[in-house]
Chains A and B, each alone.
Chain A
Amino acid sequence: MNAEEAAPAGPDLSGIPPELSRSMYRDMLTARLLDDEAIALQRQGVFPAYVSLRGQEAAQVGSAAALDTATDFAFPTYREMAVALTMGVDMVGYLASHRALWHGGLYDPMESRFGPVNAVVGGPVPHAVGWALGESLRDGPGCAIAYFGDGASSEGDVHEAMNFAGVFGAPVVFFCQNNQWALSVPVEAQVAGGSVAARAAGYGMPGVRVDGQDVAAVYEATRAALRRARDGGGPTVIEALTYRVNPHSTSDDPGRYRDPAEERRWRERDPITLTRRALERAGHADTDFFDAAETGARAFCEAARDGVGNAPHPAGSDLFSHVYREPTEALRRQQRVWRDEVGP
């Protein structure tokens, strides 16, 4: 699917409760503005680098909105800011990862039920399967969702994880955001056969392709996969077709590897614009709502920007604090060296 082939009508919100469709719009818009803030923070030198999710808001918000944040658990990689936002993660703590205050972020991943930021892109996928198996071993209600991209889909861990999930019937959703580019390598040079969803069949589970710019379609597909998992039906692969309209990171230069016309075509299918039109068409929202959503999003982003910008550096002793639950005497000895020779 490319930008032109997708349904021109945009999201069909008829099956989505109006309040939910409005909250998904709010989250998408907030994520967009926060993404812009983060890029600005990088330009100002506050963040050493940032990875933009622009263009992927519907895929992230639509899937996260389907989760039950009381029971489910999401395993992100590093471009899932809108998932974090939708799940209610402390966004100052989340952005702290991009400010390089702490690799995994400063939010509590167990409390948030949103795993730590993880830069080994296939690495957390088997964790999601383990978490899900752990849930079914105690007959718990929760499901896991593993976020990864078309690039990560080449990682052996993703394949091993899918096979394990299929064998164990684990309640897990493999949510692939196929944003067409694994840094500089296009999906056709990354994914043999062209479809991540098609791989599901080989692992004994359904694979679903969905328009990743269509928040309603993403939400419905994720909800169906979660319902199936919760009912004991096992795992599902969802491949959301979307596009990374910005560079891979603030250090990247897409001019070296892709045609700007392709970016422009996808920008025209902007998921936030599509959702706004759909809300208007469905009669779910009026101008007052859109104005309030923007005002609210701007206030949220300002607070998050100030919060992360003003967050203190971690204490030097944090070098040692979390390496072990029970630190070794050897590490304590090294900490004394640090204290005496480097100093807090």
Chain B
Amino acid sequence: MTELAVPADQAATATETSMQQAVNAALRTLLAEDPATLVFGEDVGRLGGVFRVTDGLQAEFGDRRVFDTPLAESAIIGLAVGLAMNGWRPVPELQFDGFAYPAVDQIVNQMARMHYRTRGAAPMPITLRLPSFGGIQAPEHHGESLEALFAHVPGLKVCAPSDPADAYGLLLQSVRADDPVIYMEPKARYWNRRAVRLGEPDLPIGASRTVREGRHATLVAWGAMVHRCEQAAELAAEDGVELEVLDLRWLKPIDTDGLAASVARTGRAVVVHEAPLTAGLGAEVSALVTEHAFASLRAPVQRVTGFDVPYPAGPLEPQYLPTVDRILLAVQRTLEF
């Protein structure tokens, strides 16, 4: 695994941390800094969540700040909306991405619109933590990519961290923001450790991050696919192809300027995501590149995505998710165009 480079001045405080630990640490920071912050959802209390992301929080902050709810996703988000209207800063968890569907009415019709509907009288400082994406060969509905659905909804902001440091920083930003944020945690990356320093966010909301510089093509990704793109870039480098890897981090808003700047440098773009191809966020990225960096483009934007099929059962998942080989083939197509 490629480790993130740790700048010399931070090396002393950098420690091996998993994303699961980083999200846990961020929640601890947030609960400690603002008494209005509440963490709740299915099994997040005594158990500490099915991924142990909320481990120890109830013991530390009490069962008024960190609590279990009955199993009903729509009511969990509805509860968050009502709590926000009474001055709280809710951080609900829905256990798995596929179980966000039962809550879509509350997310789309209520949470995303309450600020608009009330002309700003009722802010919705809600961060919905959503363990997301595939890669763990989970049962049906335990692996989905809903970013395009949520990015389409006016009033929402959407982000997906790719590494522990960003998981920490993005969660601080999301929860401190007064707008509702869908915070998508890549399940497949929960347990990968990186030597990182957990600290205050170093980029504004909406900013992308160049995780690897290159001059021949830009790989655009988020969540677990960032790591896959780094692997592809590592292999390409052996053949003398220098790939830039751009971690979008925010899927709404998308960093149009950062995207355009990268493509202006490389002239080629390959967008990689787990979600199905059609009307996926790759189409949005492709359109933005065309609109904002058309003159720099030397090849059509390529999309390497899941297929237009449901997330498949375990043994087929590796054939569904974008592979390093498919990413490299797409790069080759842009180079040979």
Q: Does B240 contact A (CB under 8 A)?
A: no
> Is A160 a contact partner of B74 (Cβ separation < 8 A)?
yes
Is the C-beta of A257 less than 8 angstroms from some C-beta in chain B?
A: no
Determine whether A313 belongs to the interface, using a CB cutoff of 8 Å to chain B. Answer: no
Q: Is the CB of A328 within 8 A of B157?
A: yes
User: A323 to B155, Cβ gap below 8 A?
Assistant: yes
Beta-carbon contact of A134 and B82 below 8 Å = yes
CA distance A207 to B206 in the complex (A): 49
- Please choose the segment from A4-12, A46-54, A124-132 that sits at the chain B interface, where 4 or more of its residues have CB less than 8 A away: A124-132
Taking a contact as CB atoms closer than 8 A, the residue among B72, B114, B253 that contacts A116 in the complex is B114
B152-180, CB under 8 A of A: which get 1 and which 0? 00110100000000000000000001110
Chain A 268-322 residues near chain B, CB threshold 8 A: 318, 321-322
User: Which of B42-50, B102-110, B130-138, B214-222 lies at the interface?
Assistant: B102-110
B80: contacting residue among A130, A132, A167, A329, CB under 8 A: A130
The docked-state distance in angstroms from the alpha carbon of A127 to that of B85 is: 8
Q: Is B7 an interface residue (CB 8 A)?
A: no
Judging by beta carbons under 8 Å apart, are B206 and A133 in contact? Answer: no
The interface residues of chain B lying within 8 Å CB-to-CB of A104 are 117-119
The A87-141 residues at the B interface (CB cut-off 8 A) are: 102-104, 106, 108-111, 115-116, 118, 120, 123-135, 137
Total contacting residues, chain A, CB less than 8 A: 47
How many chain B residues touch A (CB < 8 A): the figure is 46
From known contacts A156-B74, A325-B120, infer whether A130 and B206 are also in contact, taking CB-CB under 8 Å: no
Q: With a CB–CB cut-off of 8 A, which chain A residues contact B206? A: 328-329
- Say if the beta carbon of A163 comes within 8 Å of chain B: yes
Of A120, A134, A144, A161, which is within 8 A of B109 by CB?
A: A120
Name which residue of chain B comes closest to A318, CB basis.
B119
With a CB–CB cut-off of 8 A, which chain A residues contact B157? 324, 328
CB-contact partner of B75 in A75, A102, A115, A164, under 8 A: A164
Contact between chains at B78 and A127 (CB < 8 Å): yes
Minimum CB–CB distance for A335 against chain B, Å: 13
A160 CB contacts on chain B under 8 angstroms: 70, 72, 74-75, 78
Chain B residues with CB below 8 A from A163, complex form: 70, 72, 75
At the interface, yes or no: B197 with Cβ under 8 Å from chain A? no
Contact A325 to B115, CB < 8 A, known contacts A123-B105, A157-B105, A330-B253: yes
**A75 to chain B: which residues have CB within 8 Å?**
82
CB distance from A302 to the nearest CB of B (A): 26
B86 near A131: Cβ-Cβ < 8 Å? yes
A161 touching B119 by the CB < 8 A rule?
A: no
List, in ascending order, chain B residues with CB within 8 A of A164's CB. 69-70, 72, 75, 79
Name the one of B86, B114, B120, B122 contacting A135, with C-beta atoms under 8 angstroms: B86
Shortest distance between the CB of A304 and any CB in chain B (Å):
20
Known interface pairs A157-B74, A161-B75, A163-B70. Does A326 touch B205 (Cβ–Cβ under 8 Å)? yes
A110 touches B121 (CB 8 A): yes
Within the complex, which residue of B64, B79, B84, B121 is in contact with A109, where a contact is CB–CB below 8 Å?
B121
* Chain A binding surface SS class: helix
Q: Are B86 and A157 in contact (CB under 8 A)?
A: no
Nearest B residue to A125 by beta-carbon distance? B78
A137: which B residues are within 8 A, CB to CB?
38, 64, 88
Give complex CA distance A324, B252 in Å.
12
CB pair B83–A321 under 8 Å, yes or no, is no
Complex contacts, B122 vs chain A, CB 8 Å: 109-110, 116
A129 touches B82 (CB 8 A): yes
Which residues of chain B from 281 to 321 have a CB within 8 Å of any chain A CB? Answer: none
Q: Which of A157, A325, A326, A329 contacts B256 (CB 8 A)?
A: A329
Q: Given the complex of chains A and B, what is the CA–CA distance between A321 and B70 in angstroms?
A: 36
Which single residue of chain A is at the shortest CB-CB distance from B125? Answer: A325
Distance, CA A106 to CA B123, complexed state (A)? 16
Q: Does B81 contact A (CB under 8 A)?
A: yes
Flag if B78 contacts A157 (CB, 8 Å). Answer: yes
B67 CB to nearest A CB, Å? 9
> Which single residue of chain B is at the shortest CB-CB distance from A156?
B74
Of chain B, the residue at the smallest CB distance from A332 is: B253
Contact of B78 among A73, A161, A328 (CB under 8 A): A161
Residue of B nearest to A102 (CB): B119
Residue of A nearest to B250 (CB): A328
Q: Which of B204-260 contact A (CB under 8 A)?
A: 205-206, 252-254, 256
Contact check, A130 vs B79: say whether CB atoms are below 8 A apart: yes
Please judge, given known A-B contacts A104-B117, A132-B82, A321-B119, whether A329 and B74 are in contact too, CB under 8 Å.
no
List of B residues within 8 angstroms of A106 by Cβ: 119
Q: Can you give 21 A-B contacts (C-beta < 8 A)?
A: A110-B118, A120-B105, A126-B75, A126-B81, A129-B79, A130-B79, A130-B84, A133-B83, A134-B83, A144-B82, A157-B75, A157-B78, A322-B120, A323-B154, A324-B179, A325-B123, A326-B205, A328-B253, A329-B253, A330-B253, A330-B254
Using a CB–CB cutoff of 8 Å, the interface residues on chain A facing chain B are: 73, 75, 102-104, 106, 108-111, 115-116, 118, 120, 123-135, 137, 144, 156-157, 160-161, 163-164, 167, 318, 321-326, 328-331
Q: What are the 8 A-B residue pairs with the smallest beta carbon separation, nearest first?
A: A130-B82, A126-B78, A134-B86, A160-B75, A104-B117, A328-B253, A127-B82, A130-B79
Seed contacts A126-B78, A130-B86, A161-B78; 12 additional CB < 8 Å A-B pairs = A104-B117, A116-B122, A123-B105, A126-B74, A126-B75, A126-B77, A127-B85, A134-B85, A160-B70, A322-B115, A323-B155, A330-B256
